[in-house]
Amino acid sequence: MKLTNQTQLSEFLLLGFSEDPALQPLIFALFLSMYLVTVSGNLLIILAILSNSHLHTPMYFFLANLSLADVGFTTNTIPKMLVNIQTQSQAISYAGCITQMFSFLLFGGLDDFLLTVMAYDRFVAICHPLHYTVIMNSQLCVQMVLVSWVIVVLNGLIQSLLILRLSFCTHLEIPHFFCEINQVVHRACSDTFLNDLIMYLATVLLGGGPLAGILYSYYKIVSSIRAISSTQGKYKAFSTCASHLFTISLFYGTCIGVYLSAGAAPHSASTAAASVMYTVVTPMLNPFIYSMRNTDMKRALKRLLFHKIQ
């Protein structure tokens, strides 16, 4: 099979969900709507937290960063897909594909780490309430977010740079709506052992590590809640982490579902459809999850919106 060196490669083709022209307007309208809801919802969360001094606490600091990561996560993939539908093109440039992969690893990994530090925040708040303000000081909060950024940037750079060493075949179609790194690597005609090894290690260390931290935090949280004598006290303690627990279940549940579907049919368009759950739906739902049952957030959003109307 003829090989095309990466210096000569100009573009990949993103096959998306369907090549049926009749479905393209529906797909465009659906994803445009979800993207607008995601961006506006998460930006409102950020503005509400910044504008209300009562929300300048570790939990809301992490939530603002999570909302920022969610905006970047969806902006990395959806606008390009919408442009391709509008222009009736499936092409994405080689540089654009590398950029998408880096950004996907960056913001996806940042989501993962932020959910972990939020779990630690809830662990300290419930298991060590008297020492919460001392432990979760502003310096520690900033350091945890900065460390998360450094780790995901390094991971994104390493895996993206490893793509540059690959040579690709003439068959460059990707059955996805964005440049998913696993799909791109497996279309290379050169040896991908090092890429596969780094992807596996990154999944275990940067995926399994945070998940283990989350599970341990909630194990300790559940143990502390069970020790509370009053039913009202148990409910109050659980309600402080209910939104975060739901977000974790949604994020990891959909990621695991995509992994399993990819294992069953690695080149199927169904993998792209399943990926929508954690790349689009989860970031879109997060603002609703964290505001629907949160009185402080509801009050801050009402003040923000009322002020804007005025």
Whole-angstrom distance, CA of residue 63 vs CA of residue 49: 9
Token match 């300790």: residue? 220
**Nearest CA to 286 among 28, 19, 63, 7?**
63
Instruction: Copy the structure tokens of residue 288.
Output: 């609703």
Q: Fill in the DSSP letter of residue 188.
A: B
Angle at 109 between CA 106 and CA 115, to 5 degrees: 135
Q: What pLDDT is stored for residue 4 in this prediction?
A: 41
What is the reported pLDDT for 267? 54
The answer on pLDDT for 5 being more than 50 is no
Mean pLDDT calculated for residue range 4-19 = 69
Question: 152-161, 182-191, 249-258: which has the highest mean pLDDT?
Answer: 152-161
Q: Is 88 left (phi over 0), alpha (psi -120 to 50) or beta?
A: left
* Reduced DSSP (H G I as helix, E B as strand, rest coil) percent helix, strand, coil of the chain, to 5: 80, 5, 20
Contact by Cβ (8 Å): 199, 159? yes
User: In Å, how far are 5, 272, 294 from 188, measured between CA atoms?
Assistant: 10, 20, 48
pLDDT band of 174, cuts 50, 70, 90: confident
Q: Stretch 157-167: mean pLDDT, rounded?
A: 93
Highest mean pLDDT among 50-54, 158-162, 184-188, 277-281: 158-162
Q: 24 near 16, Cβ under 8 Å?
A: no
Say what the pLDDT of residue 214 is.
Answer: 93
Looking at residue 268, its pLDDT comes to: 56
CA 273: distance to chain centroid?
Answer: 16
Residue 11 class from Cβ within 10 Å (0-12 exposed, 13-18 middle, 19+ buried)? middle
Whether residue 112 contacts residue 206, with contact meaning beta carbons closer than 8 Å, is answered with yes
Distance CA(215)–CA(188), nearest Å, equals: 37
Q: Is residue 308 over pLDDT 70?
A: no
The pLDDT tens digits for 219-268 are 999 998 888 878 787 777 777 788 888 888 888 887 777 766 655 555 55
C-beta separation of 80 from 96 below 8 A: yes
Query: What is the tens place of the pLDDT at every residue in 55-98?
Result: 899 999 999 999 999 999 999 999 999 999 999 888 999 999 99
Distance of alpha carbon 31 from alpha carbon 77, whole angstroms: 11
pTM (2 d.p.): 0.89
Residue 31: which pLDDT band, with cuts at 50, 70 and 90?
Answer: very high
Q: What mean pLDDT, rounded, does the chain reach?
A: 86
> Sign of the CA dihedral 123, 125, 126, 128?
positive
> Alpha helices, DSSP H only, in 128-208?
132-135, 138-163, 181-185, 193-202
Q: Computed from CA positions of residues 221, 243, 282, 71, in that sequence, does the dihedral angle turn out positive or negative?
A: negative
Vertex 69 angle, CA 137 and 199, to 5°: 105
Closest by Cα among 187, 204, 195 to 259: 204
Between the CA of residue 239 and those of 153, 218, 246, 285, what are the distances in Å?
34, 13, 11, 18
The structural domains of the chain, ordered by start, are 3-309 (1.20.1070.10)
What band does 144 get if pLDDT is binned at 50, 70 and 90? very high
